Structure 1
Amino acid sequence: MRAARLIRMALLVQSNPGLTAAALARELDVSERTVIRDAQALQEAGVPVRSERGRTGGYHLAPGYRTRLTTLRPSEAETLFLSGLPSALRDLGLSDAADTARLKLTATLLPSVRAAAEASVRRFHLDAPAWFREPSAPELLPELARAVWSDRIVELSYARPGRDGSPASAVSRVVEPYGLVLKAGTWYAVARLRDRADDTAGKGGEPGGGWRTYRVDRVTALAPAPGGQDVFVRDAHFDLAAHWEERSYEFARALLRTTVTVRLTAWGLDRLPSVVDGAAVEDALASAGPPDDGGLVTLALPAESEDVAYDQLARLGADVEVLAPASLRTRFRERAGALAALYRPEAKEAAPGAAPGEAPGAEGQR
């Protein structure tokens, strides 16, 4: 454990001269006191790590010194070859470059390590999209990826979904595209609004700094930023993975723009997490009252829209009753009537020779 940490510390100092004890402590997930002890251990092992004070201080290696700790072990090569996601690279237009880089890396490995790396590719594969979805790369994804790589300011146009079935609205924003995230087969762009880049407190309840998350498949156009703006200076402290972890839950909640009141059986309540998003379920269960005399539970369920709520709750059949809004209750009542007409016994008796499941008057209700 400590040996691996010492190697990592030496490599960090070699690749990032001037890292402070505090910075190394964060990278290694240890205390600053441990960093100081580890630096002393490296010195005793012959690695000339030294600490310097002042504005340009921090930890450095002696001039001209390079560690010889960069040889990959088989387990490290296996992990490295597993770190790529072929479908994501293909969507970004980088599959050819990734294949070339992998070949170059393979050529530098010892035969034993090369065999371990190739074995990992044969044994493990990551398939990101969810079941029953046809994966497709958004048309503008490669162009947006190039803007991310080059820190290029762009004017982004996208279709913002309407609420409760209302038409989508077209919106344009000038943004600094910081990164791309692939989540369950869907690509998202993390960007900062250009006119909010210096915000610290946010406005209107929005996160500070003007950070936004956009579904890339809703981006309809990309153009160079107006006014001759070209590139932005990337915040050196921005961590895409940490940002996504912090904001993705908030983003999921922000999509829940309407509330549906429902009454559920015990079975329907157990099944609710399998048909509704996690953030919505959490809020809904917090609003639930005790079961009534019939064992039914009433709760307020957040949803992205009435259309989404209709599609999700329909999977629970008769184990859910929509109480409000009235428009959604009406849709379920009409659906229940259509199903009752389709499956009533007398309908089959009145139509001998009809195809299985076919009933008079049901044609327009399917």
Structure 2
Amino acid sequence: MRAARLIRMALLIQSNPGLTAAALARELEVSERTVIRDAQALQEAGVPVRSERGRVGGYFLAAGYRTRLTTLRPSEAETLFLSGLPSALRDLGLSDAAATARLKLTATLLPSVRQAAESSVRRFHLDAPAWFREPATPELLPELARAVWADRAVELTYAWPGRDGAPASAVARVVEPYGLVLKAGTWYAVARVPAKREDHDGGWRTYRVDRITALGPVHGAEEPFVRDPAFELAAHWEAGSAAFARSLLRTTVTVRLTGRGLRRLPAVADGAAITDALASASAPDPAGLVTLELPAESEDVAFDQLARLGADAEVLAPASLRARFRERAEALAALYRAGPREARPGETEDQR
């Protein structure tokens, strides 16, 4: 514990010459007395730390002295290289600076550690989560992550959402998991289906990890699969994410919206669906209502999305979804006509 703190202290002084004992204490979450003792320990270990008093004083390293990062363990390097947000850096205009910094850091690493850092970049890509939404952790995510690290083919069972209220359908497939992506709080797996498999023509596929219902090793495939050296996870995700989002939209709902409902629609539906829906929107009728075709993953998803718009949205089709909203409206009307009721002793919520 102390050794890690001493290394961090030396790096802080190197990158910020002149830090005071109070500033170092805040960064390291220790007392100023501990900072003074740690500075003495660094001096005894051969690190030329010196302190200067006065208004511009603080802690400094001897001129020309630089600590080295070659003591990084592979796990530390993997974590370090996973800490970037490529899309955010690009939006801020910092992608070139970040790439240059990563190259400089890579040059300082030992070959074994450099390989570990580059390996993590090839396997994991973070697309920052949306606001006000906690990332979910699917049950099979840790096991799938181990397969990604080990370049191990897996056999998975994937549950597709049902179309137009139909039950979900499951497919089993052998895949080579190349990477994982966290997008707006949802984990996705990017995998290649081997072309040599007789049950599929091969190619790249993207799977929502929370819809993987079973996962296991492939019998007779104990050796790691050979990764395509040209594959770049971030570039692949950026190129294919829009197409994948559209592939999930397996049903269409005809809905009539008020002006307020139309303005609120982007807050309840997904981006790809919004683009298609607005393109299909009719001109406002004399009452100011707009009719459009809204793509959705399933009737269940459409019900949850449009219910948030309340009376600002009227489902016209399919008839089964319109019937669900009518039943919900009748239940709510009956509930609020009756007025609040007191729970009887021992009565559960389901019994009321």
Task: Using structure 1 for the length normalisation, give the TM-score.
Answer: 0.56
Aligned pair count?
A: 234
Q: Is the 8 A contact 1:157 1:220 kept in 2?
A: yes
Where in structure 2 are the equivalents of 1:1-366 lying within 5 Å? 84=83, 135-195=135-195, 210-228=203-221, 230-344=223-337, 347-348=338-339, 354-355=341-342
Superposed CA offset, 1:3-43 (max 9, x none) = xxxxxxxxxxxxxxxxxxxxxxxxxxxxxxxxxxxxxxxxx
Identity in percent: 74
Aligned to 1:123: none
C-alpha distance in structure 1 between counterparts of 2:291 and 2:249, whole Å:
19
1:178–1:190 Cα contact (<8 Å) kept: yes
Structure 1 stretch 180-189 or stretch 275-284: which is displaced more?
Answer: 180-189
Aligned to 1:113: none
Secondary structure at the residue paired with 1:142? helix
Distance 1:153 1:282, change over 3 A: same
Once residues 183 and 127 of structure 1 are traced to their aligned partners in structure 2, the CA distance between those partners, rounded to angstroms, is 5
Change (3 A) 1:145 1:300: same
In the TM superposition, what is the alpha-carbon distance from 1:217 to its structure 2 partner?
A: 2.1
Deviation at 1:134, TM superposition (A): 5.8
CA contact (8 A) 1:224 1:230 kept: no
Q: Deviations over 1:142-194 (max 9, x none)?
A: 22222222222222223333223333333211111111111122211100111
Query: Which amino acid letter does the alignment assign opposite residue 236 of structure 2?
Result: H
Q: 1:150 to 1:83 in 2, by over 3 A?
A: closer
Q: Secondary structure at the match of 2:195?
A: helix
Q: Distance in 2 between matches of 1:317 and 1:141?
A: 36
TM-score, structure 2 as length reference: 0.58
Deviation at 1:246, TM superposition (A): 1.1
Whether the aligned pair in 2 keeps the contact of 1:155 and 1:226 (CA below 8 Å) is no
In 2, Cα distance between equivalents of 1:127 and 1:238: 18
**Equivalents in 2 of 1:225, 1:82: separation in Å?**
30
Q: Distance in 1 between matches of 2:334 and 2:214?
A: 47
CA distance in 1, matches of 2:149, 2:350: 52
SS across alignment from 2:242? helix
2:172 and 2:158 map into 1 onto residues whose CA distance is 7
Cα deviation 1:339-365 (Å, max 9, x = unaligned) = 222333xx44xxxx8459xxxxxx999
Counterpart of 1:262, as a letter, is V
Q: Which AA in structure 1 matches 2:141?
A: L
Q: In structure 1, what is the Cα distance between the partners aligned to 2:315 and 2:351?
A: 20
Q: C-alpha displacement at 1:290, in angstroms?
A: 0.7
Report the alpha carbon displacement of residue 228 of structure 1 after superposing the two structures with TM.
Answer: 4.0
| TM-aligned CA deviation for residue 261 of structure 1 | 0.5
Following TM superposition, by how much is the alpha carbon of 1:243 offset from its aligned partner in structure 2, in angstroms? 0.7
Partner residue of 2:59?
A: none
**Secondary structure of residue in 2 paired with 1:165:** coil
* Residue aligned with 2:164, SS: coil
One-letter amino acid matched to 1:339: L
More displaced 10-residue stretch of structure 1: 168-177 or 247-256:
168-177
Matched to 2:230, the amino acid is H
Once residues 168 and 231 of structure 1 are traced to their aligned partners in structure 2, the CA distance between those partners, rounded to angstroms, is 32
Mark the runs of 5 or more structure 1 residues left unpaired by the alignment. Answer: 1-68, 73-79, 86-104, 110-125, 204-208, 357-362
Kindly provide the amino acid, as one letter, of the partner of residue 259 in structure 1.
T
- Alpha-carbon contact 2:129-2:182 (below 8 Å) kept: no
Q: Distance in 1 between matches of 2:80 and 2:223?
A: 35
| Pair 253,136 (structure 1): closer, same or farther in 2 beyond 3 Å | closer
Counterpart CA distance in 1 for 2:350 and 2:213 is 35
The 1:193–1:335 alpha-carbon spacing in structure 2 relative to 1, beyond 3 Å, is: same
Residue 83 and residue 213 in structure 1: after superposition, are their counterparts in 2 closer, same or farther (change >3 A)? closer
- Matched position secondary structure for 1:195: coil
Q: Is the 8 Å Cα contact of residues 153 and 221 (structure 2) preserved in structure 1? A: no
Q: 2 CA distance for matches of 1:160 and 1:301?
A: 19
Displacement of 1:304 in angstroms is 0.8
